[in-house]
Structure 1
Amino acid sequence: MSYNGPEQADRELIGGRYRLGERLGQGGMGVVRRATDELLGRPVAVKTLALESGADPESALREARVVAQVRHPHVIVVHDVVEHEGRPALVMELVDGGSLADRLAAGEVLSPCETARLGLDLLDALSAAHARDVLHRDVKPANVLLEKGTGRAVLTDFGIASLPGASTLSRTGVFIGTPEYTAPERMQGGDAGPASDLWSLGALLCAAATGTSPFRRDSIGAVLHAIVYEEIRPSERMGPLVPVVQGLLERDPALRLGAAEARRLLAACAAGEEPAPPVPAPTLREAAAPATATVVRDRPTAPDPAVPAAVPDAATGGRGSGSRRPKALPFVAAAVAVCAAAATVAVLVAMKDEPPAGAAGRPSGTASAPAATTPPPTTSASAPPSASAQPAGTVPDSETDRYPSEEVTDERGFTLAVPYGAIRSTDGERVFYTSPDGAVRVGVRIRPIPPGGAIGVMRASDENGPATNPGYRDSLVQETTHKGLPAARWEFTWNGFTGAEGPRHTIDVCWEKDGTLYDVWVSAPVGRSEEDRIRFDKALESFRATGG
């Protein structure tokens, strides 16, 4: 609830013992006032329903019942329910200090360590609620109170929470919740679980450390488009928090960072340590992969110690926490259509170095890549599989020991060589294969030849480079041929997804054949330039169209 400053206390006595004082805040359905419990002589807060809100009086009782199920130091305490103006009013503990939203509105932000400690408090509160099968469904700065002196964070306003056995609060024609902190699966009207609250926590941590939600836009349609489709790239100001935020903002709830792993990462950040990257169980990763996707087998490999492991970015498919692109939301179709129409030209020249934007990168639109990008731990220094032991479709690799690869046949009608154990993701138009350590991304796009042909597409992409790739530099666009066909080549360097990962280099070739434009690119950290070029040459040379 937003703080509106003190107002003249009306000193009304309700419930025979609670003397109302000044207003502390007001939300969509209720007003919170400071009050005094005259029977016990203690300060309390009283939440009354706003008459103009149209809220069902039963909602206050619902909230009281929900909170009564969850007893935790970081969850607001409801002391009593009394009648006020014919409606129930909640008597709660008074957390003196204002909300996180108040602090952000005043221009203050939290340091990464402070944000991590806040995250731990809220994660514990949510875990306590989830253990009781209670989903908060409205985790946002206005619903987090920060106690003066102690710094204790308290999660409040369970007014739209879901409780087992209770009906779900809803109002016809009204979106219940706060869009810019709402998980994409809830936007789609799908089943929401504890992972939905964790998405909201990830967005809240971004706001706490930077001052605003990563999905803040000028209109509701733009907000929904950002959550469902756009790249999610946490600010470098978040420092060591970037991996945990990327993991929480994974668009696919099956791949989203869980509470236990999030707690480990946050605890390390709160202690001022650099957290080890999250390591998902390979079996879980394979189980979460889309049934229609070609999942490439994991092969234990030792990560390159010279290259920091990166967590895929949520909206870019390979660069972050991407997940499978959600279907269009029925109730926002018109708004999204407007956004999509405006972005048609931009999509034509969209950056190559990103996985699918809706497939969570984690941007949470990323492809179906898991929240973590480090490979599973190596159990033994085993030699690469022999040709006879390799699964069908694998290409024997003379560089096996250094850059093992295998050939995959994709459902989109092509085959090519990708890093061994790569993870497939898609944003609907593009397909990405990301190496197990998350560092190397192979992308493919097949479409009708647009106006200007291959060279026109590359020149337009180059012009748009500074807008799509921060730190865009050292670009080169050349008209060329590929296997005797008209083609264009584009190379560039940019700042990369995170400061920890460092700059990245992308090599891209597209060519024309029989009315179709084929596009293959590979991106890798600048420190792995040799691997970047070798993998690109393998991908380009091995590419074959197999379907119409």
Structure 2
Amino acid sequence: MAYDGSERGGPELIGGRYRLGERLGQGGMGVVRRATDELLGRQVAVKTLALDSGADPADALREARVVAQVRHPHVIVVHDVVEHEGRPALVMELVDGGSLADRLAAGEVFSPRETARLGLGLLDALTAAHARDVLHRDVKPANVLLEKDSGRAVLTDFGIASLPGATTLSRTGVFIGTPEYTAPERMQGGDAGPASDLWSLGAVLCAAATGTSPFRRDSIGAVLHAIVYEEVRPSAAMGPLVPVVRGLLERDPELRLGAAEARRMLAACAAGEEPAAVALGPTLREDAPAAAPTPAALDRAGQDTAAGGPGSGRRGPRALPFVAAAAAVCAAAATVAVLLALQDEPPKGAAAGPHGTIGAGSTATSAPASTPASGTGRFPSRQVTDEDGFTLLVPSGATRSTDGARIIYTSPDGAVRVGVRIRPVPPGGAIGVMRASAEDGPTSNPGYRDATVEETTHRGLPAARWEFTWDGFTRAEGSRHTFDLAWEDDETLYDVWVSAPLGRLEEARSRFGATVDSFRVTGG
């Protein structure tokens, strides 16, 4: 384990040879101390079970057996198991350096190339574990040690890993794992395989490159909402890592990026190259007719393009049906009690971090007031009065979410999105914003094509209109089309857009006209 120079312990000798020293850290089940192996004259780390943790002594032996199955340069080495206060203690290699969590807490952020090199080491460690049918199940920054001199990444703490033929660690009433880095299928209590560890790796890469967990929120309920429902939009700061992160954070484990392809892409990033993205699933025919919502259609979630922001409109991974996910989580009553709150809440859209990034948390907003449907003919709509000081038409039953800069209303089937952004008029005005967004289109919107930008007026005010097609949020959903209008009113820029699958182009066009016409400012 890592030595961080923390408080002094007593000179107790255990196992007849290990002299305990400074405490290095403490987790839910054990305390880790620096120690001296007096027989071999080397520094080691000793993990002892905390007396008040309620941990079963068999858990320590189980962890030692798990690690013994996986011998790899990027996996912690267990040297010995001895008795301490009537319980087994693990004697491990001492990695001289802090954890990734320590580095991030100190404000350090890794470059894309550094993050890719870190990811390669962790991926190789996981690949070695998976080859032995061992699942780590708790890949997170605190369990990644970084050797000071070599920069070697070491995966540690296999305390909740699963091992073939061994009893799986579980505790009634307790969630096993770290929610911010746990794959959605595990959150639902479903079967978890190697793909679940790869999801966690994707989240760790985001944390290393941006400084924070991609699903950091203010409460456990908001964390779970983000994992199973919200769009994941990688930060532009991640540069060439964006495709691999998108692939690893694909919510459907069957479509998630595999280890071999992830390694190829990370190796390209580490070499300073731009990795080619990989198709994650079958593409539907773009001319397929629109159909009634199906269970698969309910898998869609995420937000759409707002003109002018870095990372706007990036393709997010397919979201699991939130109501179904909440029900599944609640059915598995062995998880933390706070999960139960999710089954009583509609999706309310906890904030997804600063515009164009994943990470920073915020509280969810309450549903806005609404009036009965009107305004878009055969496409059911309702008029909402938003808490941010405007009113407009949105799809009936739409749910509201926000990332702090943009407000998104998403239809019940996840297919149609109405967005609003209000801000001071930037240099260049509405047309400058639209032209800059269009120029960034190929980067922010995969498959960007058929784009037009034109200067116009709206209610006699300077305005600009942007329209384009792109590949959409998921391969299963297929291509999408976006209509976007921005206009200047005094010193304020209003930006309203509508996006829908290409097969529902008529609906998107109809809703866009009605939404723009219905928009009114209600607050100061």
Do the aligned partners of residues 117 and 524 (structure 1) sit closer, same or farther apart at CA in structure 2, a change above 3 Å counting?
farther
User: 1:540 corresponds to which letter in structure 2?
Assistant: E
Query: 2: distance between equivalents of 1:338 and 1:468?
Result: 23
Query: 2: distance between equivalents of 1:117 and 1:343?
Result: 34
Q: Secondary structure at the match of 2:39?
A: coil
Contact 1:31/1:47, CA 8 A, preserved across alignment: yes
1:216 aligns with 2:216: yes
Do the aligned partners of residues 333 and 93 (structure 1) sit closer, same or farther apart at CA in structure 2, a change above 3 Å counting?
closer
Per the TM alignment, residue 64 of structure 1 is displaced from its structure 2 partner at its CA by 0.3
Query: 1: distance between equivalents of 2:99 and 2:317?
Result: 29
User: Cα RMSD (Å) of the superposition?
Assistant: 4.5
User: 1:340 corresponds to which letter in structure 2?
Assistant: P
Partner of 1:456: 392
Partner of 1:335: 341
Contact 1:76/1:155, CA 8 A, preserved across alignment: yes
Partner of 1:97: 97
Query: 2: distance between equivalents of 1:65 and 1:321?
Result: 36
1:319 aligns with 2:325: no
Q: Secondary structure at the match of 2:52?
A: helix
Query: 2: distance between equivalents of 1:536 and 1:283?
Result: 13
User: 2:392 corresponds to which letter in structure 1?
Assistant: G
Query: 1: distance between equivalents of 2:319 and 2:68?
Result: 36
Cα distance per residue 1:298-319 (max 9 Å; x no partner): xxxxxxxxxxxxxxx9x99x82
Q: Secondary structure at the match of 2:177?
A: coil
Partner of 1:175: 175
Query: 2: distance between equivalents of 1:50 and 1:498?
Result: 53
Matches within 5 A, 1:416-435: none
Contact 2:11/2:19, CA 8 A, preserved across alignment: yes
Partner of 1:74: 74
Partner of 2:363: none
Cα distance per residue 1:52-83 (max 9 Å; x no partner): 11110000000000000000000000000000
Identify the range of structure 1 (460-469 vs 141-150) with the bigger mean alpha-carbon deviation.
460-469
Cα distance per residue 1:451-502 (max 9 Å; x no partner): 469x93159999989424799589xxxxxxxxxxxxxxxxx89959988624
Contact 1:319/1:497, CA 8 A, preserved across alignment: no
1:467 aligns with 2:406: yes
Contact 2:483/2:509, CA 8 A, preserved across alignment: no
Identify the range of structure 1 (130-139 vs 273-282) with the bigger mean alpha-carbon deviation.
273-282
Identify the range of structure 1 (46-55 vs 270-279) with the bigger mean alpha-carbon deviation.
270-279
Do the aligned partners of residues 238 and 468 (structure 1) sit closer, same or farther apart at CA in structure 2, a change above 3 Å counting?
farther
Query: 2: distance between equivalents of 1:91 and 1:257?
Result: 35
User: 1:501 corresponds to which letter in structure 2?
Assistant: T
Do the aligned partners of residues 52 and 291 (structure 1) sit closer, same or farther apart at CA in structure 2, a change above 3 Å counting?
same
Do the aligned partners of residues 525 and 64 (structure 1) sit closer, same or farther apart at CA in structure 2, a change above 3 Å counting?
farther
Do the aligned partners of residues 495 and 213 (structure 1) sit closer, same or farther apart at CA in structure 2, a change above 3 Å counting?
farther
Query: 1: distance between equivalents of 2:110 and 2:79?
Result: 31
Q: Secondary structure at the match of 2:208?
A: helix
Do the aligned partners of residues 447 and 154 (structure 1) sit closer, same or farther apart at CA in structure 2, a change above 3 Å counting?
farther
Contact 1:2/1:26, CA 8 A, preserved across alignment: no
Partner of 1:254: 254
Per the TM alignment, residue 236 of structure 1 is displaced from its structure 2 partner at its CA by 1.1
Query: 1: distance between equivalents of 2:45 and 2:377?
Result: 57
1:501 aligns with 2:446: no
Query: 2: distance between equivalents of 1:254 and 1:179?
Result: 21
User: 2:113 corresponds to which letter in structure 1?
Assistant: C
Q: Secondary structure at the match of 1:456?
A: strand
Per the TM alignment, residue 279 of structure 1 is displaced from its structure 2 partner at its CA by 3.7
Matches within 5 A, 1:371-386: none
Partner of 2:197: 197
Do the aligned partners of residues 238 and 496 (structure 1) sit closer, same or farther apart at CA in structure 2, a change above 3 Å counting?
farther
Contact 2:268/2:274, CA 8 A, preserved across alignment: yes
Identify the range of structure 1 (197-206 vs 493-502) with the bigger mean alpha-carbon deviation.
493-502
Cα distance per residue 1:16-70 (max 9 Å; x no partner): 0111110111111111111111111111110001111111000000000000000
User: 1:325 corresponds to which letter in structure 2?
Assistant: P
Per the TM alignment, residue 109 of structure 1 is displaced from its structure 2 partner at its CA by 1.2
Matches within 5 A, 1:146-185: 146-185=146-185
Query: 2: distance between equivalents of 1:343 and 1:462?
Result: 6
Query: 2: distance between equivalents of 1:283 and 1:341?
Result: 28
Q: How many residues align?
A: 393
Runs of 5+ in structure 2 lacking a partner? 286-292, 298-310, 352-356, 360-375, 386-390, 409-418, 424-433, 449-464, 469-478, 486-497, 511-524
Matches within 5 A, 1:218-257: 218-257=218-257
Contact 1:64/1:90, CA 8 A, preserved across alignment: yes
Percent identity of paired positions between Structure 1 and Structure 2: 69
Partner of 1:113: 113
Q: What TM-score, normalized by structure 2, do the two folds share?
A: 0.65
Contact 1:320/1:362, CA 8 A, preserved across alignment: no
Partner of 1:63: 63
Partner of 2:506: 540
Query: 1: distance between equivalents of 2:509 and 2:442?
Result: 32
Partner of 1:29: 29
495, 503, 523: which is aligned to 2:482? Answer: 523
Q: Secondary structure at the match of 1:192?
A: coil
Partner of 2:6: 6
Per the TM alignment, residue 102 of structure 1 is displaced from its structure 2 partner at its CA by 0.6
Do the aligned partners of residues 196 and 53 (structure 1) sit closer, same or farther apart at CA in structure 2, a change above 3 Å counting?
same
Do the aligned partners of residues 92 and 501 (structure 1) sit closer, same or farther apart at CA in structure 2, a change above 3 Å counting?
same
Contact 2:31/2:50, CA 8 A, preserved across alignment: yes
Do the aligned partners of residues 498 and 136 (structure 1) sit closer, same or farther apart at CA in structure 2, a change above 3 Å counting?
farther
Do the aligned partners of residues 496 and 15 (structure 1) sit closer, same or farther apart at CA in structure 2, a change above 3 Å counting?
farther
Q: Secondary structure at the match of 1:122?
A: helix
Do the aligned partners of residues 129 and 447 (structure 1) sit closer, same or farther apart at CA in structure 2, a change above 3 Å counting?
farther
Do the aligned partners of residues 27 and 542 (structure 1) sit closer, same or farther apart at CA in structure 2, a change above 3 Å counting?
closer
Per the TM alignment, residue 4 of structure 1 is displaced from its structure 2 partner at its CA by 7.1
Q: Secondary structure at the match of 1:276?
A: coil
Cα distance per residue 1:198-224 (max 9 Å; x no partner): 000000000011111010111111111
Contact 2:46/2:91, CA 8 A, preserved across alignment: yes
Query: 1: distance between equivalents of 2:347 and 2:316?
Result: 25
Identify the range of structure 1 (493-502 vs 170-179) with the bigger mean alpha-carbon deviation.
493-502
Cα distance per residue 1:144-198 (max 9 Å; x no partner): 0000110000000000000001111111111111000000000000000000000
